[in-house]
Amino acid sequence: MDSEEEDTRIPISHRPEWADVTPVPQNDGPNPVVPIAYSEDFTETMSYFRRVTLLIVSCLVRPFSQLVGYMCVWVEQEVWQFRRLILEALNADLYEELEFIEGLASKNSKNYQLWHHRRWVAEKLGTEITSRELEFTKKIFSVDAKHYHAWSHRQWVLQNLGGWEDELAYCSQLLEDDIFNNSAWNQRYFVITKHPELGGIEATRDSEVDYTIKAILSKPENESPWRYLRGLYKKDMQSLVTDPKVVTLCLEVLTAKVHCVFALSLLLDLISHGFEPNQYLKTAVEALLPESINPDSDILVTVCSVLENMDPMRVNYWRWRKSSHLPQAEEGVKNLHIH
């Protein structure tokens, strides 16, 4: 309901069509621990709704009446499933239902039940609304670029209704607008792994590595593309270790001596999986040590020492890595998908 409807709303108890219906109030017992301060409208609506559901269960009224359907508009969050049954029974116009949902989303787009309902409607209407659904999520992203429910819905639409054609370009546009948009990075990974015509990670790896390296060099402090780079070698650590582009990237960032934590972390994982740094890399790492600390003969220990100094928030982790020498890259890959 819009504000004008709310201002002019007539209480249910004053409506003649409800005169023969006795409401059932909520029973919290004589001494409720934490009583909820519901609004008068909500309390009244739910009291009548309880009676209606009891009557339906008792088969005393026609199950899917227009009257009950109208009531569902007032208690959106409680009766979505009931509403769907009514929509089907009345053979309602689902395009009008889309409009109804969009109106609610403009006020409370974080209601997960609303998104579940939207998916149900979209599934009923099929591929003829693919473009509309993709545009709907774009509107949400224009307000909240990391809206979890909208991203989940968009992925469902792509997998079930299609619309893959421009999705990679859309991800590129989002990242051009905000290279720190980790949701867009996540969506890009979703596209290259799920797109039915791209051929998967192996087919797109070379071009995606080039794209990601460019993004990293523009903002090496941005963790998302570093995670994305690891994801491009998921389950193929050997290719990550032997790819000269990755080694060159680490060297370039370390040589610049600015925002080096993620480059050092990646280098540490490479070393843990058998990579032997050349003298240029060793020199670049040693140059980052404080004057009070001498480089170790073991380059892995030296890298950890630099990280202890540069990344005090995770100092205990780097100390553990120094002592354990255990590979950890796969754990980073598992955590790639972050909203």
Q: Where in the sequence numbering do the catalytic residues fall?
A: 110
CA 305/CA 135 separation, integer angstroms: 49
DSSP string computed for 305-317: HHHHHH-GGGHHH
- Contacts of 69 by beta carbon, 8 Å cutoff, 6+ apart: 83, 86, 87, 90, 92
Question: What single-letter amino acid sits at 302?
Answer: T
* Cβ-defined contacts of 136-143 (< 8 Å, 24+): 136/102, 136/105, 140/105, 140/109, 141/174, 143/109
Residue 274, Ramachandran bin (φ over 0: left; ψ between -120 and 50: alpha; else beta): left
Which residue, among 298, 231, 235, has the nearest Cα to 271 in the 3D structure?
Answer: 298
- For 20, counting Cβ atoms within 10 Å of its Cβ (0-12 exposed, 13-18 middle, 19+ buried), the class is exposed
